[in-house]
Structure 1
Amino acid sequence: MNRPLVIRLCNYIGDVVLSLPALQLLAAHGYEPHLYGAGWASTLLTGTGWAVTKRGQGLRARVGQLRSLRQQLRAAGAPQDEAVWALAMPNSFSSALELRLGGFAVAGFASDGRGFLLKKALPAADGPHAAESFWAQACGLLGQRLPIPDRISLPLTAAAQDRAREVIARHAGPQGDYVCIAPFAGGLVDKQPKRWPEFAAFAKRLEGLGLPILVCPGPAAEVEEARRLYPGAILIDKLPLDAYAALLGQSKLVVANDTGPAHLAAASAAPLLSVLGPTKTRQWRPWGPTVTALGGDGQWPDTELVWQTAQAIVNRP
């Protein structure tokens, strides 16, 4: 039996995607991942076959869930004379606290004043990128120093691929070529929004490529924004995350802000044009060989450069 390892996932889609190489490394070295995170994680990671427990609301509920999970792992054959380990991937105090109160031996970075909660403090990453940080956690737990892969691979089920093909057949015309845009991005970086101010005007310009433009909003507020700001795009509503990843992976071009779908696109080997502004590029740019990142570190890219780059990507043989 593989060693069970409860892994507290990060709270955002992009972070979970960037942690995939680390999770896969642990699984390849004899750990059985039991993931603990947001409700959407089970859909995103269906193709991995890993168990996912949706976090409850409030500390009391979460501690109860984790204690129950630890008992289940014991009953399934985890050695009684050994601690059941958990990895706190977020750097927050709360992520280590809930795992410790759940009865686990906790590993993670000794950040946010949580060192006393850890059974094993892991060494810091060699590089600045978030993917390298997650990778360092896995390597530290294994006691090895290994090179990080140059790309992220997101396994997808046949059902997710089929759902994406249905959307493509319905909306992309006989040739099946299309462009995806991901203009939504929440949160601030250094008090600056992560949404490219020129995105709506640029989407209008993309219509000149002669390809259908698909947009897949998430919450209701994004649906209304898509209808208002991107009337020339085909709105695909309520698409599951794994099918969304498959759709992105088959596109001729994805244009995205610093947002979760950008990382999904990179992990699906989509030709991604990542438009960055206040984002710290060396830490948060999408990871992979199919990514072209423009701007970042406090400066939005020139619109004409973005347009020329988009044309070049679409016209690649």
Structure 2
Amino acid sequence: MIEARPLIVRLRNFVGDTVLSLPALRLLAQHGYRLELVGKGWARGLLEAEGWPVHVRPGGLRERVEQLRELRRRFKAEDPGFDRRANMLLFPYAFSAALDARLAGLQAEGHAGDGRTWLMRRGHLRRDGRHTLVEYWELACDFLGVQAEPPADIHMKVSDAQHEQARALLAAHGVAPGRFVLICPFANGKVEFLDRSWPAFPDFVRRLHAAGRQVVIVPGPAEVAGAKQLYPDAIRLDAVQLGVYNALLQGAGVVVANDTGPAHMAAGVGARLLSVLGPTDPARWAPWGTTVTVMRRWPGWPSVDEVRSAVDQALP
């Protein structure tokens, strides 16, 4: 007798969205599903402490479909009713996500739209005016046929091993735990052709450094050169796995971030976060949680003095 029904869940391709889907994933698990996640390779490190397996999604259509077919074969052998029920949930909105599932013979559900509903077992209404976390939460509720309120905080897990690696990194660079400012100044992509990066970030860091604050930056592989050039005063930690990054965020005195994946990670682990937003709509994309302070003055930006004052209040 199986303890939980296997359910294939297709994650989105972005770190922030994956963090925001965590409450929905937990809701599915609480209702008797054993989650088998399909997503990008980085999702393994990001979600390592959660304990769910992550199957890394191949790039080509043929390989993607074969992966799903293999998962389907495996779970049918474990659960005779696997093919007689909805057995895959799609968080992406794209037509291709539904097509992959259909070609693999899976009974997928997801948001209706993009001309893909006919490919799925059932398409669910994507409601307007929702925060992204609520949108994923409501999709899980609709899939389960339940009504519930989303949690106030994400409570993303961080393992003891990840904490230990983070402590070792900080000690090797002479950083005092709980007293440093961790900055997330990079933001890939734009909103309505407008840059999401706070233009005063370099000046802000220079002034923090001059005031004696320890500033830490954890650049991604494509951000190392920019970190060296724009933030020479920051203590740079390169090649950090996302799970360890979670531990660093949780151990910071305060995190200051643009609209970027690590901002959602910081909120997810309950870090004290100053979220500096520009053109981003906070009603849809603000980091989620009770430890988040959104700083937004659009069509302008918060001043350096304003954000520094907030840091000083967080780290007296």
What TM-score do the two structures reach when normalised by structure 1? 0.94
Aligned to 1:39: 41
Aligned to 1:72: 74
Could you give the per-residue CA deviations for residues 92-130 of structure 1, whole angstroms, max 9, x where no partner exists? 111111112111111111021211112122233475200
Aligned to 2:301: 300
Larger deviation, residues 193-202 vs 123-132: 123-132
Could you give the per-residue CA deviations for residues 157-205 of structure 1, whole angstroms, max 9, x where no partner exists? 2211111111222234456521100111100100111111111111111
One-letter code of the match for 2:16? G
Question: Does 1:178 pair with 2:180?
Answer: yes
The correspondence for 1:51, drawn from 26, 48, 53, is: 53
User: Structure 1 stretches (4+) deviating beyond 4 angstroms?
Assistant: 172-176
Q: Distance between the aligned counterparts of 2:33 and 2:128, measured in 1?
A: 23
Aligned to 1:151: 153
Aligned to 1:312: 313
- Retained in 2: the 8 A contact 1:4–1:78? no
Q: Distance between the aligned counterparts of 1:87 and 1:162, measured in 2?
A: 35
Aligned to 2:17: 15
Q: Percent identity?
A: 44
One-letter code of the match for 2:190? L
Aligned to 1:168: 170
Larger deviation, residues 122-131 vs 144-153: 122-131
Instruction: Identify if the C-alpha distance between structure 1 residues 74 and 237 changes in structure 2 by more than 3 Å, giving closer, same or farther.
Output: same
Shift of the alpha carbon at 1:79?
Answer: 2.3
Aligned to 1:130: 132
Where 1:140 maps in the other structure, the secondary structure is: helix
Q: Distance between the aligned counterparts of 1:90 and 1:80, measured in 2?
A: 22
Aligned to 1:247: 248
Aligned to 2:112: 110
Q: Distance between the aligned counterparts of 2:129 and 2:31, measured in 1?
A: 22
What TM-score do the two structures reach when normalised by structure 2? 0.95
Where 1:94 maps in the other structure, the secondary structure is: helix
Shift of the alpha carbon at 1:208?
Answer: 4.1
- Retained in 2: the 8 A contact 1:179–1:252? yes
One-letter code of the match for 2:183? I
Where 2:105 maps in the other structure, the secondary structure is: coil
Instruction: Identify if the C-alpha distance between structure 1 residues 5 and 298 changes in structure 2 by more than 3 Å, giving closer, same or farther.
Output: farther
Aligned to 2:285: 284
One-letter code of the match for 1:113? G
Gaps of 5+ in 2: none
- Retained in 2: the 8 A contact 1:122–1:137? yes
Could you give the per-residue CA deviations for residues 5-37 of structure 1, whole angstroms, max 9, x where no partner exists? 111100000000000000011001101110000
Instruction: Identify if the C-alpha distance between structure 1 residues 267 and 71 changes in structure 2 by more than 3 Å, giving closer, same or farther.
Output: same
Gaps of 5+ in 1: none
Aligned to 2:267: 266
Larger deviation, residues 96-105 vs 285-294: 96-105
Instruction: Identify if the C-alpha distance between structure 1 residues 174 and 37 changes in structure 2 by more than 3 Å, giving closer, same or farther.
Output: closer
Where 2:70 maps in the other structure, the secondary structure is: helix
One-letter code of the match for 2:240? L
- Retained in 1: the 8 A contact 2:11–2:37? yes
Where 2:244 maps in the other structure, the secondary structure is: helix
Aligned to 1:198: 200
Could you give the per-residue CA deviations for residues 57-99 of structure 1, whole angstroms, max 9, x where no partner exists? 1111100110011111112234266245111101111111111
Alignment RMSD:
1.7
Larger deviation, residues 124-133 vs 275-284: 124-133
Q: Distance between the aligned counterparts of 1:112 and 1:298, measured in 2?
A: 32
Q: Distance between the aligned counterparts of 1:80 and 1:13, measured in 2?
A: 29
Where 1:160 maps in the other structure, the secondary structure is: helix
Larger deviation, residues 276-285 vs 90-99: 90-99
